[in-house]
Amino acid sequence: MTVRWWREVGWRHVAALLAVAFAVVPVLYVVSAAFNPLGTVVSTSVVPTEFSLVHFRALFDDPSRPFLRWSLNTVLVCVAVTGVQIFCSALSAYAFSRFRFRGRRGGQLSLLLIQMFPQFLAAVALFTMFTAMGEAIPALGLNTIAGYSLVLMGGALAQVWLLKGYFDTVPRELDEAAIMDGAGHGTVFVRIILPLARPILAVTGLLAFVGTLGEFLLASIFLTDTQRKTLAVGLYGIIESDRSNNLGVFAAGALMTALPVVLLFLFLQRYIVGGLTAGSVKS
């Protein structure tokens, strides 16, 4: 390790390690709190010192916080919303990428503008809308998983821009060749575009999934019944009711919520990085 190496490369590692520490500390803290049998703010440190599964047991045994039920609700909402979002976004992105029609530019721009407004700014209106909806069709009212999912599906076109950017990179010659061979637009979409776009579909799907998983405001207004909560509202309730002493149980729940997502992220990392950079860098 020469001085020269330190001056040109070594300090970069130091900076990176500092950033890594910054990024990792809260994560370690959750792990530590989840396994620490005392599970209080005072007793928890960044480095795990003790190991016990007592909080995980507490999480599953207490009927006042049906963790499995919340997980199931969350998975249902996330799968439904993500599925609809990717489906609708892919269809629209294909139209914007391949067809030339009147209002194409206007449509794209208004989409971009509408997406600048978070849906929950209209929370009051949504609340009244779904109160009325619940009176008409009880299965879709407030405090139902179906109704809540439906609200989030208002963002069905959230992924259009990212997908369109990718579709644009699929060479048009492929479509044209297929059309020469007698394929219709539907076949081109299903047989050519979609298979080639599989990586970006996976990434946008994951991003939509995580976004839905973390949605808190509308969930806290819509889902008040313990059995109907999602993980976001449910886990929030655990730590909010007693910030100091429920830390362990909360951390256990948080760990089980975040772990699958983190693993998926690491697994799909290559595509995520590619997708984010491609989405940002305009060509």
Partner 1 sequence: MIAVLIRVLCLGTAVGTAAALTPSLVSGRHYAVLAVAWVIVAVLVGTYATRRPLVAKYLVPGTILLVLFTVTPVLATLQLSTTNYGDGTRTTKQETITQVLATSVVETPDSPTFHLAVATTGNPVAGPFTFFLVDPATAEAFSGTEEGLVRLEPDQVTVAGGFVTAAPGYTFLTPKQVNDAAPHLREFAVPTEGGAIRSRGLREAFEGRAVLRYDEATDTIVNTDTGVRYTVQRQGDREYFVDGGGTRLTDQSWRAGVGLDNYRKVFTDPRILGSFLGIFAWTVVFAAGSVALTLALGLVLAVTLNDPRVRGQKLYRSVLLLPYAIPGFISILVWSGFFNQDFGLINGLTGLHVNWLGDPFAAKAALLLLNLWLGFPYMFLVTTGALQAIPADVREAATIDGAGRLTAFRRITFPLVLVAIAPILVAGFAFNFNNYNVVELLTHGGPFTPDNPNAGATDILISYTVRLAFGAGGAQFGFASAIATLLFVITGVLAAAQFRATRSLEEVH
How far is Cα of residue 38 from the mean position of the Cα atoms in its chain? 32
Does 242 interact with partner 1 (rule: CB under 8 A)? no
* Residue 239 binding partner 1, by CB under 8 A: yes
The answer to whether 122 contacts partner 1 (rule: CB under 8 A) is yes
Q: How far is the CB of 64 from partner 1 (least distance, A)?
A: 19
Instruction: Tell the smallest beta-carbon distance from residue 138 to partner 1 (Å).
Output: 5
Question: Shortest distance, CB of residue 75 to partner 1, whole angstroms?
Answer: 13
Residues 140-179 binding partner 1 (CB under 8 A) are: 141, 150-151, 153-157, 160
219 neighbors 232 (Cβ within 8 angstroms) = yes
CB of 112 to partner 1, least distance (A): 9
190 vs 19, 166, 187, 204, CA distance in Å?
Answer: 43, 15, 5, 18
Q: Pattern of binders to partner 1 over 204-223, x per CB under 8 A?
A: ------x--xx-xx---x--
Of 26 and 171, the one with the shorter C-beta distance to partner 1 is: 26
Of 19 and 177, CB closest to partner 1: 19
> Considering the rule CB under 8 A, would residue 66 count as an interface residue with partner 1?
no
**What sign does the CA torsion over 103, 160, 122, 129 have?**
positive
Of residues 11, 123, 145, 178, the one with CA closest to residue 69: 145
CB 44 within 8 Å of CB 63: no
Smaller CB separation from partner 1, 54 or 153: 153
DSSP character at residue 47: S
Q: Is 27 in the site for partner 1 (CB under 8 A)?
A: yes
Is residue 77 a contact residue for partner 1 (CB under 8 A)?
no
Give the residue, chosen from 94, 166, 222, 271, that forms a contact with partner 1 under the rule CB under 8 A: 94
The Cα 228–Cα 210 span in angstroms is: 19
> Could you tell me the CA-to-CA distances from 178 to 41, 168, 187, 189 in Å, in that order?
63, 17, 9, 11
Amino acid letter, residue 253: G
Q: Determine if 129 is a binding residue for partner 1 (CB under 8 A).
A: yes
| 91 forms part of the interface with partner 1 (CB under 8 A) | yes
